[in-house]
């Protein structure tokens, strides 16, 4: 789950990481009230889980109440690269002397946490790597241990952080590594990590990803909604407990198992089609889950044909067939549905579908044949 900046900053504050205090607002009036409370100049920041908000006009400085109102009104509801702004964060403007970059991420390949620090803050990691690969200092954290303050200082020296703030920066990096473990974060990025004119080290931004599997032990984070699920179909799928990802095309897709489902999208694309979604019905899908899945897929108006690609292992083909038949009673299927059923209880499933003789239903024997057919019908 990706936290918004203000949620990340609240976590920072909880763990003693120096960060500007501010106020969260969802309406223009509340934002203006918050700005008056904070004082001017005040920064109005769009809260969306996507980078480069500043360039998109999502971060503005207000010098008085009138500007606070103008900016809040402009930013709320703004679309930033596909994300609608529903939340604002207001904080006092910082007096920036240096901009650094710090992060702690899960390095899957090395099976360790990786701490990174650069004196070149304000741009993204790829840009830093491109402009000067030596400017990013990387060091793995030993599993089960904290990032030693001594090691953090070495990193800071190596990154050519200004001498007078080496301790402060090192301390923050060590705090971030501890926070990653304590809060089950797989990514913490502070960009920029600033040094103020008064030489205070401050986390001016916060990008945090929390491991969704660990939410059960973070009740305080449960209220934060995942901003990546704003789309109506994605929200609907989430409610029904389905793994659904919205795409741009018109071929609705359901598969069982994440790998097979991804593979289904690929073969549909190879056949010249444009997938509308990823929907993993999961292992052991029961009829009810199939009804839910069809409901979500058909609620996307762009969908002109649907492909069900099922290879039954634990999933039983007869259960899937029952689900399709049940769904056709509950939902009016206005688009063709291509079904490929293979694997456990395939015979029973195929027979059920044949007996039901549903309009708009097309059976195919192979995955590739089914992909070609659905593209033809879409």
Partner 1 sequence: MSIIVDGDTKLVVSGLTGREGTFHGLRNREYGTELVAGVTPGKGGHDVDGVPVFHTIKEAVSERGANTSMVFVPARFAAAAIDEAIDSGVRTVIAITEGIPVHDMLKTYWKAREAGVRLIGPNCPGVLSPGKANVGIIPAQFFEPGSIGVVSKSGTLTYQIGNELKQAGAGNSTIVGIGGDPIVGSDFIDVLTLFEDDPDTELIVMVGEIGGDAEERAADFIAENVTKPVVGYIAGFTAPPGKQMGHAGAIISGSSGTAKAKKDALEAKGVRVGTSPTEAARIAVEVLKASA
Q: Which residues are catalytic?
A: 101, 189
Shortest spacing between CB 368 and partner 1, in angstroms: 6
For partner 1, the closer CB: 111 or 198: 111
Residues 318-347 that bind partner 1 (CB under 8 A): 342-344
Shortest spacing between CB 92 and partner 1, in angstroms: 31
Per-residue burial over 227-236, b if 16 or more Cβ lie within 10 Å, else e, is bebbbebbeb
Q: How far apart are CA 20 and CA 41, in angstroms?
A: 14
For partner 1, the closer CB: 109 or 133: 109
Considering CB under 8 A, how many residues would be counted as binding partner 1? 54
Shortest spacing between CB 20 and partner 1, in angstroms: 27
Shortest spacing between CB 114 and partner 1, in angstroms: 12
Taking CB under 8 A as the criterion, the residue among 254, 267, 324, 327 binding partner 1 is: 267
Q: How far apart are CA 354 and CA 315, in angstroms?
A: 19
Q: How far apart are CA 71 and CA 40, in angstroms?
A: 13
For partner 1, the closer CB: 186 or 250: 186
Taking CB under 8 A as the criterion, the residue among 74, 114, 136, 262 binding partner 1 is: 262
217 binds partner 1 (CB under 8 A): yes
CA angle 245, 84, 192 (to 5 degrees): 95
Structural tokens at position 330: 């509950």
Q: Is the N-terminal amide bond of 192 cis, ω within 30° of 0?
A: yes
Q: What is the DSSP letter of 2?
A: B
Taking residues 142 to 161 in sequence order and writing x for each that binds partner 1 by CB under 8 A, - otherwise, the string is -xx-----------------
Shortest spacing between CB 267 and partner 1, in angstroms: 5
Residues 318 and 345: beta-carbon distance below 8 Å? yes
Q: What is the dihedral of CA 351, 353, 354, 360, to 10 degrees?
A: -160
275 binds partner 1 (CB under 8 A): yes
Strand 22-25 versus strand 42-46 pairing type:
unpaired
357 binds partner 1 (CB under 8 A): no
Taking residues 81 to 120 in sequence order and writing x for each that binds partner 1 by CB under 8 A, - otherwise, the string is -------------------------x-xx-xxx-------
Strand 185-196 versus strand 136-141 pairing type:
unpaired
Q: How many CA atoms lie within 13 A of 51 on its CB side?
A: 11
Q: How far apart are CA 370 and CA 350, in angstroms?
A: 15
Strand 243-246 versus strand 277-280 pairing type:
antiparallel
Shortest spacing between CB 111 and partner 1, in angstroms: 5
For partner 1, the closer CB: 30 or 348: 348
Interface ranges with partner 1 (CB under 8 A): 106, 108-109, 111-113, 125-126, 143-144, 180-181, 184, 186, 211-214, 216-217, 228, 243, 245, 247, 255-263, 265-270, 275, 278, 280, 283, 311-315, 342-344, 366-368
């Amino acid at each position: 789950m990706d936290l918004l900046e203000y949620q990340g900053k609240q976590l920072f504050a909880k763990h003693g990481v120096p960060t500007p205090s501010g106020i969260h607002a969802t309406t223009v009036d509340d934002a203006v009230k918050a700005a008056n409370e904070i004082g001017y100049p005040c920064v109005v920041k769009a809260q969306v889980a996507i980078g480069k908000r500043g360039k998109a006009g999502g971060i503005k400085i207000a010098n008085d109440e009138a500007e606070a109102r103008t900016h809040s009104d402009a930013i709320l509801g703004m679309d930033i690269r596909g994300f609608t702004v529903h939340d604002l964060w207001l904080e006092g403007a910082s007096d920036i002397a240096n901009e650094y970059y710090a992060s702690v991420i899960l390095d899957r390949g090395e099976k360790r946490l990786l701490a990174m620090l650069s004196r070149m803050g304000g741009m993204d990691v790829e840009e830093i790597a491109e402009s000067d690969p030596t400017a990013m200092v990387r060091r793995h954290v030993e599993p089960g241990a904290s990032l030693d303050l001594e090691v953090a200082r070495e990193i800071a020296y190596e990154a050519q952080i200004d001498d007078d703030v080496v301790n402060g920066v090192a301390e923050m990096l060590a705090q971030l590594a501890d926070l990653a473990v304590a809060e089950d974060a797989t990514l913490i990025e502070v960009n920029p990590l600033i040094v103020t004119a008064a030489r205070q080290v401050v986390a001016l931004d916060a990008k945090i990803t929390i491991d969704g599997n660990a939410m059960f032990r973070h009740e305080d984070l449960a209220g934060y909604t995942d901003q990546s699920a704003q789309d109506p179909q994605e929200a609907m799928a989430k409610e029904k407990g389905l793994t659904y990802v919205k795409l741009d095309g018109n071929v609705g897709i359901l598969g069982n198992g994440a790998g097979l489902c991804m593979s289904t999208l690929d073969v549909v694309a190879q056949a010249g089609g444009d997938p509308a979604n990823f929907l993993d019905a999961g292992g052991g899908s029961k009829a009810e889950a199939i009804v839910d899945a069809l409901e979500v897929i058909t609620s996307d108006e762009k969908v002109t044909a649907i492909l069900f690609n099922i290879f039954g292992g634990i999933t039983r083909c007869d259960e899937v067939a029952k689900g399709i038949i049940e769904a056709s009673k509950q939902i009016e299927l206005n688009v063709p549905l291509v079904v490929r059923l293979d694997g456990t209880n395939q015979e029973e499933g195929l027979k059920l579908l044949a007996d039901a003789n549903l309009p708009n239903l097309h059976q195919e024997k192979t995955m590739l044949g089914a992909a070609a057919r659905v593209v033809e019908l879409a």
